[in-house]
Structure 1
């Protein structure tokens, strides 16, 4: 995240300076995380509010899984007296883990951002689902914008951008945000200009 600081020199305050975003160019997870984070900032700056309902469901299921594991660990009877209880906990653990994986596989896929429709958009009743891919040992970052509700009559066709990450980073790993903003905003405009399916 970009941080803004104000410097004071000889009693006078200078204009705010922004700290550039920097990453390790040898770590593709770090690159993808920084790009995804910046894309989220760009999309939300365009009036799309983040929809965190899916994240909340995942967190809730994760909390249930942890509680089940804690019950299994700290149940007040010793093995083999607690055998049936442990079998029940293991069964519940597998079921809730399966539900979590199913949500990730069917709903989220590679998505890192779900949004509500922009405020005041009567013609567009769906938000966005923004996803990305950066395969290991590849410099090609693919950004996809699709409708958060593809079955809706106002859903628009998916748009996609694939570009080498070397176009957005200096050799020192500093993100050139202006170039990324231009490309992402262009993709958002492409999506907005598409007709509904």
Structure 2
């Protein structure tokens, strides 16, 4: 943990800011443990987003005006909807609440990385963190582990994140995941 960084201070009434700050800290902690982020899913999502933008630009700036380009516009609208549905399916089925997906650490005997997921329900102070295998069907996958805690334990009254506390909790959760016995066959 680097002490040269300024403390993270935020408005404790801003739910999104609290979740974002905690998620960023959790990601830093996991990466500091030797896990490297797997950005393939993010790259696929960005590629689909670029395709959606290109479709929208083609439909907007096509050389013919409306009555002549009717069929072209209909095709663009259909493609736009198809790629947006595909993007939402990827987010809903693959990404879920994941804040970080990693490769296995270098030199590790496990063949899977981690999926770190979090939830902070609106109007609640209870933050849930889950660490699971990136490939749950793998023989080296462990059972997911969970941490549920009030965010008030990680912040001072002034809205400053106490990184030592969150660091200790997340490292303990990672250790619990990596030391857990394998599933019975």
Compute the TM-score of the two structures, normalised by the length of structure 1.
0.90
Instruction: Compare CA radii of gyration and give the structure with the larger one.
Output: 1
**Counterparts in 2 of 1:145-184, with a 5 A limit?**
145-184=131-170
Post-superposition shift, 1:18? Answer: 2.8
What SS does structure 1 have at the residue aligned with 2:111?
coil
Post-superposition shift, 1:73? Answer: 0.7
Stretches of structure 1 that go unaligned for 5 or more consecutive residues are 5-15
CA distance in 1, matches of 2:139, 2:174: 19
Please give the per-residue CA displacement for 1:117-142, whole angstroms capped at 9, x wherever unaligned. Answer: 011012x1000000100000000000
Q: Number of aligned residue pairs: give it.
A: 183
Post-superposition shift, 1:112? Answer: 1.0
**Which of 32, 35, 39 lines up with 2:22 in the alignment?**
35
Post-superposition shift, 1:160? Answer: 0.4
CA distance in 1, matches of 2:53, 2:95: 21
Stretches of structure 2 that go unaligned for 5 or more consecutive residues are none
Cross-structure match for 2:62:
75
What SS does structure 1 have at the residue aligned with 2:89?
helix
**Which of 87, 91, 95 lines up with 1:100 in the alignment?**
87
Cross-structure match for 1:91:
78
Cross-structure match for 1:20:
7
**Which of 40, 48, 57 lines up with 2:35 in the alignment?**
48
Moved over 2 A (4+): none
Post-superposition shift, 1:195? Answer: 2.1
